[in-house]
Amino acid sequence: MTRGVILFAFNSPKYNYYDMALYTARRVKHFLNLPTTIVTDEDSLPEVQDDIWDNIIRVTPDKDNFRDWGLWINKGRYMAYNLSPYDETILLDVDYVVNSNKLLTLFDMDTDFCCHNKTNFLMHPGVPQELLSVYSYEALWATVVMFRKSKRAEQIFQCLEMVQKNYEHYANIHNFIAPVYRNDYALTLALRIVDGHYCDSSNFIPWDLLHVGKNTQIYKNNSDEFDTEFTVMFDNWQRGKIRKEYITVQDMDFHIMPKDLFLDIISE
Amino acid sequence: MDTKTLITEAKARFAHNSAKEYLKEKYEAKLLVAEQGGLWRADQETIAFLTVMPNGGDDKLILMDTFDNPVLVDRSKLLSKLKGVYRSVMAEWYNEWKELENKR
């Protein structure tokens, strides 16, 4: 039984996703002791490649997706099932900070596929769960996905491909904004379709995905590459003034939403 | 600039409630245990139930796991595992909580 992590990383004019993936792969090796496969393109790969990679898979990315800050190459995640060389795979977003060995618990779960359905924001607890739209489902999260090579997991990824290719149609039905493709939304729909519009709790990772979101800064407390202590600082607006608040987190994974913050952490 | 200086210069206040919330997230996740084909929470309720439900000679018991699946388990074995996890995780939680209290 082989196990490993797969990362998708395609550089955009604004952000270097390969560097983010490299940082994440090093932490995967350190905290999880798992091999990592990267799915990327020739344009993103540096001339000298790092030996952290178990496999480097080159694909031609779909560059037809734009966010407010520019080109965002995030389509094609459905290929993870066919491209993964492992029997049991964790598919991670490159901006997920592996900061403990918690993800290994996913392999103990008796399910072929799971992802996060609940999230929380560090320093901003109680934020409501995101909905696809007011009258639609709560969003699932493609940030961390565990799957086993199985008929069911294959069907979910095939359905993810179908949703991606007909995204505008699903956006019309569920009343969300189509021009920006989001894997989270596509996964939400794909999993529901495969499960007959019923969502079993065994599809879900039984702890919350923790985000570092807007108005937040994050700093490494020590220069050691694998130190697990970070300070999270939050701009709390009160009576028209910002009051800085902070906490210290240790031995716990989190997802950094603003890419600039993630790149700051890498460069510290 | 190191983090301590940064906190001082920014006149940042330690966010006690957020820290408490973070500890809850962190340690509740650590209380999850995969054992005997089910996923369990090593919490007070589960441990109490396992303790008060001896089940005759073979010591087997059917229990709902965190995914709402009924699972046939070896009661003593599961109880022993969950007690061990509970003790170690709660000790860590308590120590970190005490540190946090000192920051008030």
Do the chains contact at B7 and A102, CB–CB below 8 Å?
Answer: no
Residue A71 has pLDDT above 70, yes or no: yes
Question: Within 10 A of A267 (CB to CB), how many other CB atoms are there?
Answer: 8
Amino acid at A60: T
To 5 degrees, how large is the angle CA A150–CA A152–CA A157?
Answer: 95
Q: Which residue from B12, B25, B67 is facing A233, i.e. has the nearest CB? A: B12
How many angstroms separate the CA atoms of A248 and B42, rounded? 25
* A231/B6 Cβ within 8 A: yes
Is the ipTM beyond the 0.90 threshold? no
Verify whether the Cβ–Cβ distance B29 to A251 is below 8 Å: no
Question: Which residue type sits at A133?
Answer: S
* A136 vs A182, more confident: A182
Radius of gyration of chain B (CA): 19
Among A243, A245, A251, the strongest candidate for a mutation testing the B interface, having the largest count of B CBs within 10 A, is A245
Question: What is the Cα–Cα distance from A31 to A33, expressed in whole angstroms?
Answer: 6
Does position B92 have pLDDT exceeding 90, yes or no? yes
Nearest CA in chain A to B68: A201
Condensed to tens digits (0 to 9), the pLDDT of residues B63-74 reads 999 998 999 999
Percent of chain B topping pLDDT 90: 68
Of these ranges, A209-213, A263-267, B2-6, the one predicted with the greatest mean pLDDT is: A209-213
Contact B34 A251 (CB under 8 A): no
Residue-wise pLDDT for A7-37, tens only, equals: 999 999 999 999 999 999 999 999 999 999 9
pLDDT in tens, B17-28: 889 999 999 999
